Amino acid sequence: MTLLINIFFLLASVGLIVGIKLMGNPIRAKIGNVVALLAMFIAIVATDILLIQDSYKTINLILLISAISAGTLIGYYFSYRVEMTAMPQLVSLFNAFGGACAVIIGYNEALNYYHEPNTISALILISGVVLGGVSFSGSIVAMYKLSGKISHVNGGLYRYISKLLLVVMLLFTLSQLANSNGSLSLSFFILLISVLALVYGISFTLPIGGADMPVMISFLNAITGVATAFSGVIFDNPVMLIGGIIVGSTGMLLTFKMCKAMNRSLKNVLAGKTKSGGTIGGNKSGHQADIKTITSVEVASMLAFSKRVAIIPGFGMAVSQAQQACYEVHKKLESNGVQVKYIIHPVAGRMPGHMNVLLAEANIDYRHILEMDEVNQSMDQFDLAIIIGANDVVNPAAEDDQSSLIFGMPIIKAYKAKQVIVMKRGMSSGYSGETNTLFEKANCKLLFGDAKDSLTHILEELKKI
């Protein structure tokens, strides 16, 4: 029976690795999810067999099945209820649950120790709990900041509290490890350090600007992965260990990639600093943009006479839920012999992959989707670039305005297209708060209104041509 369980865990581990590998390609991401799901199912079955072997732990089997059922229902409810605009918040919430699990696992394991563990085991246990606690409370704060329910706060006080808590946790841990027969039992110490870690997660995340929250979520996700790996060491579980290592390492790689895409250092993100020493979100007041507007009828006419069209989606597309209407326009253009490509910035929307998921909802074939680096050198070959709700990721100020907060951030060079149409509800600035100098370019016109309604009107006009 032990051999069978080990084979199950091996299959689950391999399946998890293969599933995550497949998720690296959007075309195979769906099957990757299925493979990873089956791998986790095999791991759960192996765990069930372990519990069944021990007749004294029947109650654990009942609790396990109940927890899985409850988690499945909760996950299904949230996943279908959440709006596409709130997908990053949902990811942050799910990550918070992962951190909470690490804390619960650590505390439960501390309660089950009949004698004090050796120093290495205790350090692993404490580290997993601390990282899990930080990830839980930090992810909750990130979720609320992304949704706009927590505004920016004065970071000075919170950074001081964070440093103080970090020192306190370190001293407490060293004291506990040095004196295994001290006055604090392991379970009580784990409870105490968990509370400190939860408070630290809050004070650590609060000062970070809202525009940096996507990076922060990725960073916290990596922390959860490390906490899971520690849990895998505690339980001698290869699936948890491998899964935690993969999530931790890929989470950090994604964090660095996002920092590069935003021209930000991870150090400055975590310190809540911007180029100007303030907080991202300040707008340059007093500037009157010289813009040119256009109507849906005129846009339809321009599209009808174009040969190559680039569509650049952003958070505004998610807000208006315009992806399906956009695809209908795409199909009409394609039937008329127009080549249509979607261009996605690495941090378009609120997190990497946000726009990919949005377009996948409309069943847009991934062969039509290009990344920024694939097309920037040939943007001048497009007759028309239509920007739907994107702002900072197409702002030329990132290239030519050294005083801009986003200066140096790689952008989609939409301004190089022969003609540019920007769909906006109004003249509000992007997430950074910076004025978009693209709007004043000679080849750029703005189409005001809800993106979904505008695209619907454009489609109707195209059918008349």
Distance between CA atoms of 16 and 239, rounded to whole angstroms? 8
Catalytic entry in 290, 392, 450, 453: 392
Q: Is 117 helix (H, G, I), strand (E, B) or coil?
A: coil
Taking only Cα atoms into account, the Rg of the chain, rounded to an integer number of angstroms, comes to 25
Asked whether 388 and 313 are in contact (CB, 8 A), the reply is: yes
Q: What is the DSSP string of 178-209?
A: H-TTSSS-HHHHHHHHHHHHHHHHHHHHTTS-
Q: Is 333 helix (H, G, I), strand (E, B) or coil?
A: helix
Of all helices (H) and strands (E), which one includes residue 91? helix 87-112
Neighbours of 288 (CB within 10 A): 5
Asked whether 39 and 11 are in contact (CB, 8 A), the reply is: yes
Q: Please provide the distance, in angstroms rounded to a whole number, between the alpha carbons at the two ends of the chain.
A: 71
CA atoms lying within 13 Å on the CB side of residue 362:
25
Q: How far does CA 177 lie from the centroid of its chain? A: 36
| Residue 236 annotated as catalytic | no
What sign does the dihedral 159-165-167-170 (CA atoms) show? negative
Distance between CA atoms of 18 and 301, rounded to whole angstroms? 47
Distance between CA atoms of 346 and 354, rounded to whole angstroms? 9
Q: How far does CA 441 lie from the centroid of its chain? A: 32
Tokens of 44: 């759960």
Query: Which strands sit side by side in the sheet containing 420-424, from one edge to the other?
Result: 369-371, 339-344, 308-313, 384-388, 420-424, 444-448
Residue positions annotated with a catalytic role: 392
